[in-house]
Chain A
Amino acid sequence: MRILCLLKVVPDVDQFRYDRERNILIRENVRLILNPEDATAVATALGFKRDVPDTYIEAVSMAPRGAMPHLEDLVRRGIDQATLISDPRYAGSDTWATSRVLARYLGRRDFDCVFCGTHTLDGGTGQVPAQLAEALGLPLMVGISTLVELISQEGQAVVDVDGETAMMRFSVALPAVLGFQYNPECKLPYIRYEDLNRDVSGLINVIGNDKLGMDEAELGLKGSLTQVRSLTTDALEAKDPILLRVDQDGIDKVYHWLEQKGFLQP
């Protein structure tokens, strides 16, 4: 089984600080992390590889060079190879342009399925998996909560999707694009201490547009169908904390608040 895992490195939004005076988010010095849904996808692939050791996993990311440490860490966690698609000409690409670049690379690769997250923490449109699948002519399933089975002989993946009213089970013909939703129970394995600084440079490819050969009109802002007009930040209100004692009065107040907010049935 050959699994390609697409991933994006995103800002850790939990580290954003809010400037109340200027009504802006302060993003400086914010750490980059692996998009949580992509991390679930990679963790799922690694979980499968644990059970089927001859599985081949390649992690692919279209990103600036700053994403390299994340790819190195993934190799240290058990990914067989990582590919960074990076070129200054790709800067400013929307989901459409990004999908076309990824499709160009994936079209040259041999794989049974593509794993990725359904949404990203920073964009959240969920468009790349769909556009990519369309470009590659592959079936697509998103919102996957669990990979039930991956059967290479039958060319089939069985997945569970958490629908709003029920859990649904689907069978998807391979090759396919499988988009996962975040599962906190499905974690990437830790890098062991002795591997933290292991040299994995030999297992990482860096590919630019010179290798992919795409027309520059299809790249970056020029190739993007979506143009950002403006960004607004929701104004956050400061609320005074309510101090309660651990006594009957405090407990009653908390209970009443939870009821009001709908967390408890009256």
Chain B
Amino acid sequence: MDRNVVLKLVSGILPESQINTAADDLYDAAADRYKKYAKARKVLDVPMPVAIVYPRTTEETALLLSMCNKHRINVIPRAGKTATEGGLENWKENTLVVDARDLNQIIKIDEYNMQATVQAGVILQGLENELNQRGLTTGHSPQSKPVAKYGGLVATRSIGQFSTLYGGIEDMVVGLECVFPDGHVSRIKNVPRRAGGPDIRHIVIGSEGSLCYITEVTVKIYRYFPDNHTFFGYLIKDVASGIKVLREVMVNGYRPSVARVYSEEDAQQHFYHFNKGKCVLLFMAEGNKGIVQATCAGIVEAVEKFKDGIIEQVDSHLIATWFKNLNWSQQDIDEEFQGMIDNDSHAGFTTEVSADWKTIPTLYDNVIMRVRAEFPRAHDLTMLGGHSSHSYINGTNLYFVYNYAIHCAPEDEMRVYHHPIQRIIVDETLKLGGSMCHHHGIGKYRNEWTKAEHGSAYYMLEKLKEAFDPNGIMNFGTIFYQAEGARFQK
């Protein structure tokens, strides 16, 4: 279908003011942060979408999706643009990016029932600011908080820095509204719990725009006690020592909002002013006074139990200061972008995985060893390490972080550097029985491992896709491997 025909069809649904065909915006919309360097250097190898459209109501969204479904036009649902795994990347000539920019209302803050209802285009920081004024918090704090929006946060099954206390987005979502490709609008009502069949929220949460378009979300909200925030920091001998302490805290039932272990090189990035080249263990406790006191006691107890791995305690003020400056702002993103235009480098990549407690130290050591031994450009690495930042009673995540000097054409950067490293991390994780994608989503660039990730349960994912998106219009290539998209991956 000719692009002009697509535009004509869209114009039959939305006014011109809600349709964007500006060349720079379409270029920006063709890829997300996964190909940030190629985008900055203007060498993207993917097609541009036909238009970016901004529905203002659920009804407009339904009309758009129905039209796309009828005419087999690819739809990329978009909100805060902070996706990191290619989930927003475009692989089809005829694509509409459906942006939640104008679905930006905080619909209701229900303090008595501790719920807030927002449209998909509401910025997380916006809701957080509103709640803080009332002594409340969302409890959700990914680094992208100042720019991320609720549609994307739910679609990617996101997690925040305080997850060890508040949980991930899946623990916060009460109900939601979404639109399916055939135009059907589903509202999942807001109840504290029910056993009304399988929990259908989880069809939507984490679907990465591959099944439906999220228009509205209701989330739990929490009392906020910033005056009770208490921080702990320690220099430790190695990652394994820190993992032991994390586990002890978790299995004893404590829930610090932050519990992290950093490897030496990763710690050097964040804590060069005090880490002395060592690994770092840190905690933050928050909540009402009684809970904070108990949590602090639990942390101290766990550290004492494994004191052989502890080198020294760090001034908690240093941890507090670092934490206040952790989140991205739009300015940080813009400055990184400009830096990529000016220099042969960028701020690096991450691959986040998860596994049980026993597996994690082995996984960490194996990955580091394999990358240094097998990656052909290991000499270009300027940083290789990782940290654990989200813990559970039965395990934790690992956030592998890697920076490198880029000594290749911008068009080749991903294939020369990021993909070989990611491949080692995913391969090792799956081999050891972990999950290759803790919280960033599969996107398009881990879709070749989706079947391996799910094993026999892939059948369930596949059937969902067949049922809800039989024409395959929802975010082609995300989650589900597509041979047609392989040319962009390899």
**Which positions in A face B, CB cutoff 8 Å?**
31, 190-193, 196, 241, 243
Contact = CB atoms under 8 A, between A and B. Distances in A.
Interface in B388-418: 407-409, 411-412, 415-416
B379 A31 contact: yes
Contacts of B273: 241, 243
Interface in B441-490: none
18 contacts: A31-B379, A190-B407, A190-B408, A190-B409, A190-B412, A191-B408, A192-B409, A192-B411, A192-B412, A193-B408, A193-B409, A193-B411, A193-B412, A193-B415, A193-B416, A196-B416, A241-B273, A243-B273
Interface of B: 273, 379, 407-409, 411-412, 415-416
Nearest to B407: A190
A190 B415 CA distance: 14
A125 B412 CA distance: 38
A190 B409 CA distance: 6
Nearest to A188: B407
Contacts of B408: 190-191, 193
Nearest to A191: B408
A84 to B, nearest CB: 22
A196 B379 CA distance: 16
Contacts of B411: 192-193
A196 B409 CA distance: 12
Given A193-B412, A196-B416, 12 more contacts: A31-B379, A190-B407, A190-B408, A190-B409, A190-B412, A191-B408, A192-B411, A193-B408, A193-B409, A193-B415, A193-B416, A241-B273
Contacts of A192: 409, 411-412
A241 to B, nearest CB: 8
Contacts of A243: 273
A224 to B, nearest CB: 32
Nearest to A196: B416
A212 B254 CA distance: 77
Closest 9 CB pairs of A and B: A193-B412, A190-B409, A190-B408, A193-B415, A31-B379, A243-B273, A192-B409, A193-B416, A192-B412
Nearest to B413: A193
A199 to B, nearest CB: 17
Contacts of B407: 190
Nearest to A15: B379
A191 to B, nearest CB: 7
A53 B165 CA distance: 65
A92 B279 CA distance: 44
Contacts of A196: 416
Nearest to A245: B321
